[in-house]
Amino acid sequence: MSKIIILINRLPDQPTADEIDVIDQVEAVEKSLDELGLIHEREFVDTNLNSLVNKLISEPDGIAFNLVESLNNNGGLVYFIPALVESLNYPLTGNPSDAMFLTTQKPLAKKLMQSMGIPTPQWWSAKDSVDLDTHKQYMVKPSREDASVGINDENVFKGSDQGILDRFRNRWGDHFFIEEFITGREFNLSVLGGPHGPEVLSPAEILFKDFPAGKPTIVGYAAKWDESTFEYQNTIRTFDFPESDYPMLEQLKEICHRCWSAFHLRGFARVDFRVDQNNQPYVLEINANPCISPDSGFYNAALRSGYTFTQVVQRIINDR
């Protein structure tokens, strides 16, 4: 029987809320592995890659279950782990290194989406000459981070306030990009690999309850991780839609399939959308390593779709 080696990023001495969440994911996966009767073991990884190599060599019949979200608190290095495991020809769950690289290097992901005809908001890299429309709003995002790290209300600005970019350049150097802020609705669609190809799970919409006029309707860091904040308490996920939304939701699902194919995704992923007031969808980003803890969108979309989390874990293991 194969042992499942659960790969986890080693946490700092004082981890933040988004970093601690990986333990919730591990515990959920471990519970499912117990139900499946599979032996498992945790392996914390960091930039000492020799330690991981030695571990995998010592377990030649194992399967690496990848839950690594960063290395030394750097989300831009997350693709190192699947690349290393692949170099050993070792079985690995989740997305391959090329998909992880492309989706975590956000400007590269934007370029690929544009080349493949996948709708995404107009955008510029930090090094581009930027000429913004003074009548529109824009958003600044870090190029290599997930989990809404570095995102709050100040990231949304008017085109007439282009000088704000200097503030982000001082913070991130050239590791950021600017995209047009799409006024409208926000959706997260989770995708699960399977024997018959990818399956788009029940769509979720993010509702921004009682947000005052002028406050950006975004899922920032506080909305995801700080339970004491207005944003956390008033940013609500729903899976319930009127019949009038069904054609638009089918369009979102079709785009998810195109993203899966374009980025050579595998195992599981999540696609985040904004839909404007004319029902035109835009892909904000593709997360090739989404959170799967019990309070996550992916976990709850699976339950809403009629799956147990143990069935999800089994499909992730099988889709290699």
Estimate to the nearest angstrom the gap between the alpha carbon of 42 and the chain centroid: 22
**Looking at domain 4-93, does it have CATH number 3.40.50.20?**
yes
The pTM assigned to this predicted structure is 0.94
Helix (H, G, I), strand (E, B) or coil at 83: helix
Instruction: Please report, rounded to a whole number, the percentage of residues in the chain having pLDDT higher than 70.
Output: 99
Every domain of the chain with CATH number 3.40.50.20 lies at 4-93
Question: Residue 71 — pLDDT band, cuts 50, 70, 90?
Answer: confident
* Tokens matching residue 222: 């506080």
185 pLDDT higher than 70: yes
Measured CA to CA, the distance from residue 143 to residue 276 in angstroms comes to: 23
* Tokens matching residue 114: 């544009």
- One-letter amino acid for residue 90 of the chain: Y
**pLDDT tens per residue across span 237-256:** 999 999 999 999 999 999 99
Estimate to the nearest angstrom the gap between the alpha carbon of 158 and the chain centroid: 26
Measured CA to CA, the distance from residue 116 to residue 262 in angstroms comes to: 7
Question: Residue 147 — pLDDT band, cuts 50, 70, 90?
Answer: low
Strand order in the sheet with 156-158: 123-125, 176-180, 137-142, 156-158
**pLDDT tens per residue across span 277-303:** 999 999 999 999 999 999 999 999 999
Q: What is the predicted pLDDT for the residue at 1?
A: 62
121, 306 Cβ separation under 8 angstroms: no
The CA-atom distances, in angstroms, between 7 and each of 29, 67, 85, 101 are 11, 6, 11, 18
Q: What is the predicted pLDDT for the residue at 14?
A: 83
Q: What is the predicted pLDDT for the residue at 150?
A: 79
Q: What is the predicted pLDDT for the residue at 178?
A: 95
131 pLDDT higher than 90: no
Measured CA to CA, the distance from residue 315 to residue 22 in angstroms comes to: 20
148 pLDDT higher than 70: no
- Give kind and range of the element (H or E) at residue 303: helix 297-304
For the domain covering 102-120+183-318, report its CATH number: 3.30.470.20
Every domain of the chain with CATH number 3.30.470.20 lies at 102-120+183-318
Question: Residue 224 — pLDDT band, cuts 50, 70, 90?
Answer: confident
The residues, ordered by sequence, that sit 6+ positions from 240 with a Cβ below 8 Å of its Cβ are none
Separation of first and last alpha carbons in the chain? 17
Helix intervals (H) in 213-296? 221-225, 230-234, 246-262
* Tokens matching residue 265: 């995704």
Least-confidence region, from 4-8, 26-30, 124-128: 124-128
